[in-house]
């Protein structure tokens, strides 16, 4: 090593140690959510004794969790009183409309963590075994996913709706297919903005039940149509101005995605667009960080999925007959829109 | 909320999301260590294809892990070639003397993670159930602990040895008791510095086997004596100039620790010192971060253990008859020494 290359700081094991210990920090956050202590603080409990009483938990345990939440940035502490941070008040208080506590039940589901515990084997093999995706379509945890992830998806939903409005807003009627509709947020945001839009939502039947309820709660049930089943098997119909494919392509290998995109191409009106929401790393595959790291979710949970670069997604679109593929970043969210068009 | 309190940034779910997703990042690091790809890179493999070949793993999986390691700061990437960081070269290459890969087998042992998965119940109850500390004294994972954690403990071992040298270095003979000796590093560092020191190492018999081998490898076997068993049950003997109690007190409630400290007091020479190594949070219990967060390890793994403040440790020492308790920080390591003395 030359003098020029001499490191400024001595080697330290702390990054390794902190990375490993982040497992317990994640479970501490889950414990705080499960105990619902953020809601307790939102309702006025301040000390560990008061919070423990509200949450029906031991004061000692509540104190240990609250102190840890303070270190981790989810609470502040002044003397022996805890307060919510802005983010906790918005996303972790059960009475907040943007509550995302249920997302933790999905993201930290024992079957997901079991998959991560098999990451060494997945890496050695290049993906999980098909039988290692133990969450079947009817697993109730997908309901937690649908409920919990919606708040995270709001900025993307607004961006998608804006795109559809800009493109098709002047038409007397608009037909939109929302593939992998989940919570329904994407299609419903379009329906709210564009009274002439008819939304066709495709997902597993039990998940669509949530989307349907959300549609009816917003008075949009009359323009909300259900296509229950697999995106690879259900007939889409035709005449769509826009087809949304959100958080879906990363689960599959490129050849499968091309099948899906061909089906979308066939269902679109001329000039209609496919709007994809994806984690899209740069060509270096190591930036931006959250999009690049999404490859781990796919390595751990799917046999052949990946976080695809824009070049890879554009190639899939091209092979499916779509054209003019473009990337629309959604900063500060970690995802991006990829938009392609059927020739007019 | 007044205008003055208005937050500068909009609320964001990213801290929550990143905290939750840190579980998969930790397992990705474990996969990288298990595949031994850091050693492969150290030996000259650069591209994912080359590393995959050396590690007998799929290139796709290796690429996904290496890219993630790059995002996480354990590798650098230039074009399609990966290089080690300084920390990875020192701590994650199996051929480095400071290799700590085996610590991951301990820190992420399925039984530990299972305890974290029960953190909600532990918090509700105020601690784990006694039967939920499933790692018995003879569990081979303690060997991983002993092997893997030693490199992290080197700065503390040097500081302890310096303290003993300063206090007792001029005496013709020195007798040191090393309680919870584990890898043996603490006692052996003293033995290396002070040729007149006799070390008595106390730990479970299978763990002491490692310490004994380390002693013999360093030519110190003749001055290294074994006291196998529990620190609460084994007789210590008498006449010690220093008694080391490293990373032990946090496992137990104060009353138990006072029993241990009274035993130590009885075994010390007048003027002798007890040297404790602990994670010592400030009185606010939310700083410094790593010491404060150590409370989670105790909540998740012990019925009544904790990260004790200096005031709490000083009270235990006082109740055990020790005096002059003082705190010696070991920056930049996350632990500190607490030193107390038997009256001369």
Model pLDDT, residue A169: 87
pLDDT (average), residues A152-165:
94
Model pLDDT, residue B301: 87
Map tokens 């949070």 to a residue: B281
CB spacing of B7 vs A86 below 8 angstroms: yes
pLDDT band for position A2 (cuts 50, 70, 90): very low
Tell me the C-alpha distance between B52 and A93, whole Å. Answer: 46
Please tell me which residue of chain B has the smallest CA distance to A85.
B11
CB spacing of B123 vs A62 below 8 angstroms: yes
Min Cα–Cα distance to chain A from B63, Å: 9
CB spacing of B126 vs A77 below 8 angstroms: no
Model pLDDT, residue A120: 95
Below-70 pLDDT ranges, chain B: 1-8, 131-138
CB spacing of B297 vs A24 below 8 angstroms: yes
CB atoms under 10 Å from CB of A118, counted, come to 17
Tell me the C-alpha distance between B14 and A279, whole Å. Answer: 14
CB spacing of B65 vs A299 below 8 angstroms: yes
For B13, the closest of A100, A126, A296 (CB atoms) is A100
Q: Which residues pair with B244 in a beta bridge?
A: B178, B275
Model pLDDT, residue A150: 81
CB spacing of A67 vs B292 below 8 angstroms: yes
Q: Which of A283, A284, A263, A286 is nearest to A274 (CA)?
A: A263
pLDDT band for position A6 (cuts 50, 70, 90): low
CB spacing of A22 vs B23 below 8 angstroms: yes
CB spacing of B11 vs A284 below 8 angstroms: no
Min Cα–Cα distance to chain B from A201, Å: 26
Is it true that the peptide bond before B35 is cis, omega within 30 degrees of 0? no
Model pLDDT, residue B316: 98
Q: Which residues pair with A82 in a beta bridge?
A: A77
Q: What's the farthest any 2 CA atoms get from each other in chain A?
A: 72
Model pLDDT, residue A159: 97
Give phi and psi for B269, each to the nearest 5. -70, 155
Min Cα–Cα distance to chain B from A182, Å: 19
pLDDT band for position A130 (cuts 50, 70, 90): confident
- Count A/B contacts: CB-CB distance under 8 Å: 261
Give one DSSP letter per residue of A142-174, joined into a string: HHHHHHHHHHHHHHHHHHHHHHHHHHHTTSS-E
CB spacing of B27 vs A117 below 8 angstroms: yes
Tell me the C-alpha distance between B24 and A107, whole Å. Answer: 10
CB spacing of B123 vs A18 below 8 angstroms: no
Tell me the C-alpha distance between A279 and B300, whole Å. Answer: 34
Model pLDDT, residue A3: 45
Min Cα–Cα distance to chain A from B22, Å: 6
pLDDT above 70 for A135:
no
Looking at beta carbons, which residues of chain A come within 8 Å of B24?
116, 119, 293, 296-297, 300
Ranges A168-172, A264-268, B267-271: which has the least confidence: A168-172
**Which segments of chain A are extended strands (E)?**
75-78, 81-84, 174-179, 197-203, 224-228, 240-246, 268-278, 323-329, 336-341
Looking at beta carbons, which residues of chain A come within 8 Å of B91?
11, 13, 16
The contacts of residue B10 (CB under 8 Å, 6+ apart) are: none
The contacts of residue A81 (CB under 8 Å, 6+ apart) are: A46, A47
The DSSP element (H or E) to which A62 belongs, if any, is helix A59-71
Looking at beta carbons, which residues of chain B come within 8 Å of A55?
124
Model pLDDT, residue B132: 65
Is it true that the peptide bond before A60 is cis, omega within 30 degrees of 0? no
Ranges A2-16, A60-74, A308-322: which has the least confidence: A2-16
For B296, the closest of A24, A100, A297 (CB atoms) is A24
Interface test with A, best of B1, B12, B20 (most A CBs within 10 A): B20
Model pLDDT, residue B128: 85
Looking at beta carbons, which residues of chain A come within 8 Å of B127?
58, 60-61
Interface test with B, best of A16, A96, A152, A156 (most B CBs within 10 A): A16
pLDDT above 70 for A132:
no
Cα A207 to Cα A38, A229, A322, distances in angstroms: 28, 10, 29
Helix ranges (DSSP H) in chain B: 14-35, 37-42, 48-55, 59-72, 86-91, 101-107, 110-117, 119-125, 141-168, 185-193, 205-217, 254-267, 289-301, 310-319
Looking at beta carbons, which residues of chain A come within 8 Å of B120?
30-31, 34-35
Tell me the C-alpha distance between B158 and B330, whole Å. Answer: 10
Model pLDDT, residue B82: 98
pLDDT (average), residues A114-135:
84
The contacts of residue A237 (CB under 8 Å, 6+ apart) are: A177, A200, A267
What mean pLDDT value characterizes chain A? 93
Looking at beta carbons, which residues of chain A come within 8 Å of B92?
16
pLDDT above 90 for A94:
yes
Helix axes A289-301, A110-117, angle to 10 degrees: 90
Model pLDDT, residue B251: 93
Model pLDDT, residue B2: 46
Min Cα–Cα distance to chain A from B9, Å: 10
Give phi and psi for A209, each to the nearest 5. -60, -40
Q: Any idea how long chain B is?
A: 344
Looking at beta carbons, which residues of chain A come within 8 Å of B292?
67-68, 71
pLDDT in tens, A242-255: 999 999 999 999 99
**Cβ atoms of B297 and B314 closer than 8 Å:** no
For B58, the closest of A61, A90, A126 (CB atoms) is A126
Looking at beta carbons, which residues of chain B come within 8 Å of A7?
86
CB spacing of A295 vs B16 below 8 angstroms: no
Q: Any idea how long chain A is?
A: 344
Tell me the C-alpha distance between A51 and A81, whole Å. Answer: 10
């Amino acid at each position: 090593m030359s003098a020029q290359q001499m490191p400024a700081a001595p080697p330290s094991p702390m990054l390794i140690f902190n990375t490993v210990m982040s497992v317990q920090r994640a479970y501490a956050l889950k414990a705080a959510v499960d105990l619902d202590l953020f809601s307790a603080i939102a309702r006025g409990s301040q000390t560990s004794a008061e919070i423990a009483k509200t949450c029906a938990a031991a004061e000692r345990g509540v104190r240990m969790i609250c102190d840890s939440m303070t270190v981790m940035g989810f609470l502040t502490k002044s003397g022996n009183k805890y307060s919510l941070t802005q983010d906790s008040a918005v996303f972790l208080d059960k009475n907040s409309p943007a509550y995302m506590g249920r997302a933790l039940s999905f993201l930290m589901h024992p079957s997901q963590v079991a998959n991560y515990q098999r990451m060494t084997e997945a890496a050695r093999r290049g993906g999980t075994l098909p039988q290692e995706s133990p969450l079947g379509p009817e697993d109730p945890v997908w309901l937690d996913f649908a409920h919990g992830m919606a708040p995270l998806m709001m900025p993307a939903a607004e961006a998608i709706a804006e795109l559809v409005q800009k493109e098709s807003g002047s038409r007397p009627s608009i037909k939109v297919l929302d593939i992998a509709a989940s919570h329904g947020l994407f299609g419903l945001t379009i329906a709210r903005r564009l009274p002439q839009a008819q939304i066709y939502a495709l997902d597993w039947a039990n998940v669509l039940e949530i989307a349907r309820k959300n549609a009816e709660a917003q008075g949009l049930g009359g323009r909300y149509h259900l296509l229950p089943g697999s995106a690879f098997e259900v007939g889409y119909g035709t005449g769509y101005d826009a087809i949304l494919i959100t958080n879906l392509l990363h689960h599959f290998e490129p050849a499968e995605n091309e099948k899906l995109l061909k089906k979308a191409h066939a269902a679109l009106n001329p000039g209609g667009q496919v709007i994809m929401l994806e984690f899209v790393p740069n060509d270096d595959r190591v930036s931006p960080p959250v999009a690049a790291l999404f490859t781990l979710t796919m390595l751990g949970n799917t046999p052949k999925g990946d976080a695809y670069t824009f070049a890879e997604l554009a190639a899939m679109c091209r092979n499916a007959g779509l054209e003019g593929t473009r990337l629309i970043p959604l900063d500060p969210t970690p995802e991006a829109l990829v938009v392609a068009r059927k020739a007019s």
